[in-house]
Amino acid sequence: MYEEIKEFVNKGQWNIVGGQVVEPDLNLSGGEALVRQSLHAQKFFRDEFGKPSKTGYVPDVFGFSAQMPQIMRKSGMENFVTTKLNWNDTNKLPTDIWWWQALDGSRVLFYKPMKDYTAQSISASEANSILDIIKDAGVNKGLLLYGSGDHGGGPNLTGSQNSYQAIERYNQDPAYGPTIKISTVDEYFENVRQDDLSKVPVWEGEFYFEYHRGTYTSWARIKEGNRKSEILAEEAEKVDTLGKYLGVLEGSPDKIKTAWVKILVNQMHDILPGSSVPYQYDVTINQYELVKNILSEVKNYGLQAIAYKADTRTDEGVPVFVFNPLSWERSEFVETNLDFEDDIENIRMFDDEGNELPVTILRKNGNSAIVRFMAKNVPSIGFKVYKAVNASEPSDVQTTLSVVENDNEYILENDFYKVVINLETGNIAHIYNKKDGNIDILNGEGNELHIYTDTGGSSWPAWDVVASELNKEPTYVLNDTPDSIEIIENTSTKAVIRVKRNWSNSTFIQDITMYPDVDRIDVKMAVDWYETDRLLKVSFPISAIAYQATY
C-alpha cells in the first residue's frame, strides 16, 4: 500500500500537506518543538516522496500561535488551512481568506473552509455561501473539504447529491451557478494566487480559538511531561554538541532524534491538550519516561565532556562545576552532592575569585553531603567552577533573608520584598515591594484557593470550560484556618513556610519560599485532587491596574 501511495503522489492524486510530524497542538508546544515538527516531517516528505509540503494543514487544532507563519515559511510552506475557527463562540471571522502575518512580517495565505472538514454535499446554496463570504476580499474561488472527514474516508459516492456524477451534472446546469472542480489543496492555492489578492485582509499575530478553553488545563501531568521533555531535549543537545566540538564525544544525534520524535508524536492535538482517551495517557507517560532516560544519559555524558576540558584545579577542597544551559547569564541557587576525603565538619563555598558564598548543608553523612549555594553570574551556555572546603569553622557569611513570627502573622523578608502571611487563613496578606517605596502589590489576600463549579458543558467536557460558570463568584473560597502552618526551613539560603489544608476529598500543600538576592517569591503547591466537576484557581488580586501584561 505504501508504494501505491508513492505512486499516487507522483501522479498528483495524493496531496502532501501538513509539513509536520503530526497535527500538533500549537498553543502548548514550545517554539523549538514546532520548528522540529516541520524539520523532521519535511525531511521525511523529501526523502520518501521527492518533495516537501507547501501547505500547513491543521483542520482540527485548538488555536494558532503568532509564530506559525514564520515557522511555516522557513520550513518551505506558503499556505495554511484550518477549519476549527468556524467553531468560535463569540467572534465570527468576516472572511475565510486572509494573509496571516507573523511577528517578523512573514506571511502565508490562510484559508478557513466554512463547511469544516466533513462536508458531505455541495448544494447550490452551499456553493454560493462559500463564495459570498470571500467576495469582499476580491476572491471568487472558494475551498471545500469534501469527504467523510473525521477518522478518515473519502467522499461518500452514494446519493444523488454526493456522487462525482452529481458534480458533473451541476457543472452542466446553468441554473446551478458556481463551477465545481475537484482538486487538491495545493492546486487551489496555486490557482487563487494567480488572481489579484490585493483586497485580501491581513491578520497579524495569534489566531485565538474561542472555544475548547479547557484544553489549557486538562491532564496537567501530560503538559508537565511535555514541557520538561522539551527542556531536557534542548539541554542535552547543547551539551552533546559542545562535547563533540571539544573533541571528547562522537555526538549522539540518533538518540536525540529518537527522543525528539517521541516528544513530537505526543504533541498530537488531542494528546497534549488532554482530550484523548485514558489509555493513551498510559502510553504517553511511558513515552516521557523513555525520553527522560535517553536524554539524561546524553546530557550526563555531555556535561562530563565539558568538565573534562575545563580547568577545575583548586588549591584546596573540592571543585564544583556549574553549567548554565540557557542563552543568558544566570544567577541561581543550586544543590549538589559533595564527597571529601575526610568526614565533614563544616562546608564553606568560594567562587572563582575567592569570594565566600552563603551555603547550607542539607544533609551529611561521613565524608558526603548535599549542599545549596548561590551560583552567581554563570555565563550563557557556559560554566563556572566553584570551590567547596571542608572546614573546622562554619561559614559566617550573612544574608538579608529572614523569617519572623509576630501576632497572627509570619513575615518573610529579603532585599526585594517583605511578605506577610496571615496565620488565621494561611494566605499572603501583603507583599511590600521594597525597591518601589514599600508599595503593597496585593489588593486583598493572595495565594487564596478558589473552587469553581466546572461541568465542562454537555458536549465536550474534556475540552471545555463554561464561561457562565467561571465568570461567577467562586463556589467555595478556602480562607478558613489551615490544618497546619509552619516554618520548614529558615537558613541563610532559603526560607520556606508550609501551609497545609484539607477540603472535601482533597489535600493542598503550599510552600511559600524566598531566597536572598532573588527578586522572586515562589509558591510551590502539591494537590492530591479527588473532586468531580470542580476547578481550582489560586487567586492573587494585584493592586496595579493594567490592560496589557508582559511575561
CATH number of the CATH domain containing 19: 3.20.110.10
Q: Residue 152: how many CB atoms within 10 A of its CB?
A: 7
Which domain covers residue 288, as residue numbers? 219-309
Angle, CA of 279, 282 and 287, to the nearest 5°: 130
Does 194 fall in a domain? yes
Does 192 fall in a domain? yes
Cell numbers describing residue 329: 547569564
CATH number of the CATH domain containing 376: 2.60.40.1180
What ranges make up the beta strands (E) of 29-86?
55-57, 79-81
Mean pLDDT for 154-180 is 73
Note the pLDDT tens digit of each residue in 411-459: 999 999 999 999 999 999 999 999 999 999 999 999 999 999 999 988 8
Note the pLDDT tens digit of each residue in 267-295: 999 999 999 999 999 999 999 999 999 99
Looking at residue 467, what is its pLDDT? 87
Q: Are residues 279 and 225 in the same domain?
A: yes
Cell numbers describing residue 428: 499572603
Q: Are residues 382 and 256 in the same domain?
A: no
Q: Are residues 94 and 202 in the same domain?
A: yes
Mean pLDDT score of the chain: 93
Looking at residue 126, what is its pLDDT? 85
pLDDT at 61 over 60: yes
Q: How far apart are the first and last CA of the chain?
A: 49
Does 387 fall in a domain? yes
Torsion angle, alpha carbons of 340, 342, 348, 350, to 10: -40
The CA–CA distances, whole Å, from 359 to 285, 321, 323, 413 equal: 36, 16, 18, 18
Mean pLDDT for 351-367 is 95
- Would you say 264 and 316 are in contact if contact means Cβ atoms under 8 Å apart? no
Looking at 161, 182, 211, the residue that finishes a domain is 211
**What percent of the chain lies above the pLDDT cut of 90?**
85
Looking at 194, 211, 228, the residue that finishes a domain is 211
Closest alpha carbon to 73 in 108, 40, 44: 108
Domain count, the chain: 4
Does 134 fall in a domain? yes
pLDDT at 151 over 80: no
| Residue 259 φ/ψ, nearest 5 degrees | -65, -45
Q: Between β-strands 448-453 and 476-478, what pairing exists: parallel, antiparallel or unpaired?
A: antiparallel
Does 398 fall in a domain? no
Q: Are residues 167 and 49 in the same domain?
A: yes
Q: Are residues 42 and 14 in the same domain?
A: yes
Q: Are residues 17 and 87 in the same domain?
A: yes
- List Cβ neighbours of 279 (8 Å cut-off, separation of 6 or more): none
Helices (H) and strands (E) counted in the chain, each on its own, are 10, 24
Looking at 183, 211, 239, the residue that finishes a domain is 211
**What CA–CA distance (Å, rounded) separates 326 from 239?**
11
Q: Are residues 69 and 157 in the same domain?
A: yes
pTM of the model as a whole: 0.93
Cα dihedral sign, 131-133-135-140: negative
Note the pLDDT tens digit of each residue in 103-133: 999 999 999 999 888 777 777 888 899 999 9
487 vs 165, residue with greater confidence = 487
Looking at residue 154, what is its pLDDT? 62
Closest alpha carbon to 362 in 227, 496, 503: 496
Question: What amino acid is encoded at 216 in this protein?
Answer: Y
Q: Are residues 11 and 90 in the same domain?
A: yes
What band does 150 get if pLDDT is binned at 50, 70 and 90? low
Does 410 fall in a domain? no
Which three-class secondary structure state does DSSP give residue 129?
helix
**What CA–CA distance (Å, rounded) separates 26 from 151?**
21
Closest alpha carbon to 383 in 322, 328, 330: 322
Q: Residue 509: how many CB atoms within 10 A of its CB?
A: 16
Does 547 fall in a domain? no
Q: Are residues 290 and 335 in the same domain?
A: no
DSSP string over 293-304: HHHHHHHHHHHH
Q: Are residues 302 and 356 in the same domain?
A: no
Q: Are residues 458 and 483 in the same domain?
A: yes
The CA–CA distances, whole Å, from 21 to 61, 111, 185, 316, 372 equal: 14, 21, 19, 52, 42
DSSP string over 397-443: ---S-EEEEETTEEEEE-SSEEEEEETTT-SEEEEEEGGGTTEE-BS
What ranges make up the beta strands (E) of 11-162?
55-57, 79-81, 97-101, 107-111
pLDDT at 251 over 80: yes
pLDDT at 155 over 70: no
pLDDT at 166 over 80: no
396 vs 381, residue with greater confidence = 381
Cell numbers describing residue 143: 475551498
Does 401 fall in a domain? no
- List Cβ neighbours of 398 (8 Å cut-off, separation of 6 or more): 358, 492
Q: Are residues 35 and 169 in the same domain?
A: yes
**What CA–CA distance (Å, rounded) separates 137 from 156?**
32
